[in-house]
Amino acid sequence: MAKHRGRGVASVNYPIGMNLGGDPSQALVHATPTGKFVVALSSIDLGQGMKSVTRQLAAETLGVPVEDVFVDTADSDTGPHCMGSFASRGTHRAGNAVIAAAKEAKQVLLEVAAEELEVDPKDLELDGRGKVQVKGAPSRAISVRDVAQRAHFKRGKSISGRGMFLVPPSDVDPETGEMNPVTTYAHACMVAEVEVDDETGEVTVLSLKAAYEIGRALNVKLVEQQLVGGAWMGISHALYETPEPYYPDRAHGPIDFNEYLMPGPADMCPVQIDLLERPALDGPYGAKGIGEMCATPPIPAIANAIFDAVGVRITEMPFTPEKILKALDAKRGR
Amino acid sequence: MTKAVRLELNGSPVAAVAEGGENLLALLRERLGDTSPKAGCLQGTCGACTVLLDGEPVLACLTLAELADGRRVTTVRGLQDGPRLHPLQEAFMDGFAAQCGFCTPGMLIAAKALLDREPNPTREQVIEAIAGNVCRCTGYTPIVEAILDAARRLAGRRG
Ligand code: FES
Ligand code: FES
């Protein structure tokens, strides 16, 4: 009776977004009379950082400070259409729509500024700090606030833009059933180190080390946050969670947090993450998505590590002590 | 049977009428308008409703409202000092220790109770202090780190 250490590897190829009848997202951007910008969006922020990333994308594209951009995701009934925050699609799909809307709004902003400064809009640029200026002659400038005021009260113009991003429906090849559901994939490779107690069947995850290739990380802190949280979820899927522990027998399913097992803070292992940034051709500033794939690699990596440690293959989640002991018994011929 | 409950909420005297059997969470959220403690499970298993009662952490969903009569209640709204955030709040923000934020008020209050009692906690003590608080987003590590960071910040303030 002893504790055995093992190491397992998993690699993941993860599609960004989905495609049934096409996968669209829309965004609207407009300036208020004070020269702040509002992005209206139906892609909901549920903690993954959709609003932060939207602000960054809009500010970068418009050329204004990030503090001057506000995101309104108040109501998906009345907001611009979005398929939703799922399928790791938010940053990629909605992000592209935000960029398109911000570009159109910027064009109007430059046109109004050009009229005020009596120059060609092509000769203007934003300084990223709240001013529109003549290229090469920054002293000839007007504040974004003043441009917005003039647009609203003098020229009767709306500084606004519409953005749409659509991954069109992909036809199914009638011969092969083949289709092309997505336009870009993210990738990851993870190594899990575990210790398995062959007397109790208990598995302790000692560490998770991973490299994620996610296009461009638009906000490194948010990416890391999601990957660490996802690693915990992956451990939870691998070793703890199930609504039906004796499936297909439905009895003894957990009904609350007491019975529905998840790892607690003491069960969490160190997680080391390296990001590989290889910008996606059709991503917003090269970004892909990491939403769902953050929770998947720990599962096969831990399964492989258990096999490496004690030589049994558990093929059904979660990998409970009971299943491991049964498999060890079978292996020993008991 | 209704009962008048007078208590000190985050330093201010307040009063409300509670129904018999009403819990402190309902009193705070629905009668006193302090929605900072969250209703996660309403049965004592998630910690989202944690508040301080006379400085001790309790689950507001399992505490009878009338037990708070004449006592001090602290919610996460009472942590900051005017516009100045509490070091715990700063550390949670800087350490990206919240995602959806639903567990955060309970985590902050549980952590406050710990740091009040043990200003220089070990990692194990931090883990122990939040063992009754469920988080579904962060993987806990950033929360544990943020609490340790807050302890250092508080020590810095004390000088
Ligand atoms: S709401 Fe009180 S413990 Fe969950
Ligand atoms: S941040 Fe979402 S539950 Fe903790």
Q: In 3D, which of A230, A238, A220, A226 has the Cα closest to residue A301?
A: A238
> Are B125 and B60 within one domain?
no
Q: What percent of chain A has pLDDT over 70?
A: 100
pLDDT tens sequence across B87-109: 999 999 999 999 999 999 999 99
Residue B45 and residue A257 in contact, taking contact as beta carbons nearer than 8 Å: yes
CA distance linking residue B135 with residue A291, whole number of Å: 17
Q: Is B96 an interface residue toward A (CB < 8 Å)?
A: yes
d(CA A138, CA A131): 9
Q: Are residues B153 and B118 in the same domain?
A: yes
Nearest to A109 by CA among A165, A161, A59: A161
Q: What is the percentage of chain B residues whose pLDDT exceeds 90?
A: 96
Give the predicted TM-score (pTM) of the model. Answer: 0.93
pLDDT digits (tens, 9 = 90+) for A145-199: 999 999 999 999 999 999 999 998 888 899 999 888 788 999 999 999 999 999 9
pLDDT at A21 over 90: no
Instruction: Check residue A209 and report its DSSP letter.
Output: E
Query: CA–CA distance from A110 to each of A62, A116, A160, A162 (Å)?
Result: 10, 10, 12, 16
Strand A69-72 versus strand A37-41 pairing type? parallel
Backbone angles phi, psi at A315, to 5 degrees: -110, 5
Residue given tokens 């996660």 in the structure block:
B40
**Among B77, B106, B133, which residue terminates a domain?**
B77
Write the residue in A48, A229, A265 that is nearest to B144 by C-beta. A265
B60, part of any domain = yes
CATH number at residue B130: 1.10.150.120
- For residue A197, list its beta bridge partners: A3
- Mean predicted lDDT score pLDDT of chain A: 95
Q: How confident is the model at residue A246, as a pLDDT? A: 86
Q: DSSP of A313-331, one letter per residue?
A: ---SSS--HHHHHHHHHHH
Residue B82 falls inside a structural domain: no
State the average pLDDT over residues A225-246: 95
Domain that holds residue B100: 87-158
Among the residue ranges A108-112, A164-168, B67-71, the one predicted with the least confidence is: A164-168
A23, A45, A169: which is closest to A96 by C-alpha?
A: A23
Beta-carbon separation of A257 and B138 below 8 A: no
Tell the burial category of A334 from Cβ atoms under 10 Å away from its Cβ (0-12, 13-18, 19+).
Answer: exposed
Which residues of chain B neighbour A223 with C-beta distances below 8 Å? Answer: none
Q: Which among A232, A257, A268 is the nearest to B45, CB-wise?
A: A257
Please tell me whether residues B51 and B115 are part of one structural domain.
no
What is the total count of domains within chain B? 2
If asked whether residues B99 and B118 sit together in one domain, one would say yes
Instruction: Count CA atoms within 13 Å of residue A246 on its CB side.
Output: 6
Integer-rounded Cα radius of gyration of chain A: 26
Domain boundary among B53, B77, B101: B77
CB contact under 8 A, B130 and A230: no
What is the structure's pLDDT at A50? 95
User: What local confidence, expressed as pLDDT, does residue A307 receive?
Assistant: 98
Distances (CA, A) of B116 to B55, B57, B88, B129: 8, 11, 12, 12
The per-residue pLDDT for A40 is: 97
Q: Which of B44, B77, B110 is the last residue of a domain?
A: B77
Lowest-pLDDT range, A16-20, A259-263, B97-101, B104-108? Answer: A16-20
CA-nearest of B70, B38, B76 to B54 is B70
Is pLDDT above 80 for A1? no
**Contact call for residues A219 and A49 (beta carbons, < 8 A):** yes
Is residue B51 located within the same domain as residue B97?
no
Q: Which domains does chain A have, with CATH numbers?
A: 3-16+184-331 (3.30.365.10), 23-167 (3.30.365.10)
pLDDT, position A245:
87
The pLDDT of residue A78: 92
Which residues in chain A have Cβ-Cβ distances shorter than 8 Å to B49? none
Residues B6 and B67 in one domain: yes
Quick one: how many helices (H) and strands (E) in chain B?
5, 5
Residues forming beta bridges with residue A187, ordered by sequence position: A13, A213
Atom of ligand 2 at shortest range from CA of B97: 1
Q: How far apart are the first and last CA of chain A?
A: 16
A261 touches chain B (CB under 8 A): no
- CB proximity list for A55: less than 8 A, separation 6 or greater: A39, A66, A69, A70, A71
Nearest to A265 among B99, B101, B130 (CB): B130
pLDDT 10s digits, B4-35: 999 999 999 999 999 999 999 999 999 999 99
Residue A18 confidence (pLDDT) above 90: no
- pLDDT given at position A293: 94
Give yes or no for residue A20 having a pLDDT over 80: no
Q: Is there a contact between A214 and A307 (Cβ–Cβ < 8 Å)?
A: no
Residues of A in contact with B99 (CB under 8 A): 47-49, 225-226, 229
- From the CB of residue A244, how many other CB atoms can be counted at a distance below 10 Å? 12
Strands of B29-69 (E only): list them: 50-53, 56-59
Please tell me if residue A220 touches chain B, with a CB cutoff of 8 Å. no
Asked if A48 contacts A227 with a C-beta cutoff of 8 angstroms, the reply is no
Please report the pLDDT score of residue A306 as a whole number: 98
Interface predicted TM-score of the whole assembly (ipTM), two decimals:
0.93
B127 in contact with A, Cβ within 8 Å:
yes
- In this structure, the answer to whether residues B92 and B152 fall within a common structural domain is yes
Tens of pLDDT, residues A30-82? 999 999 999 999 999 999 999 999 999 999 999 999 999 999 998 889 999 99
Q: Are B94 and B70 part of one and the same domain?
A: no
- Alpha carbons within 13 A on the beta-carbon side of A250: 1
The CA angle B38-A236-A44, to the nearest 5 degrees, is: 50
Same domain assignment for residues B73 and B16: yes
Q: Count CB-CB contacts under 10 A for residue A1.
A: 6
Q: Confirm whether B41 is domain-assigned.
A: yes
pLDDT bin (cut points 50, 70, 90) of residue A264 is very high
Q: Identify whether residues B11 and B51 lie together within a single domain.
A: yes
Provide, as residue numbers in chain A, all residues whose Cβ is less than 8 Å from the Cβ of B106: none
Is B61 found in the same domain as B94?
Answer: no
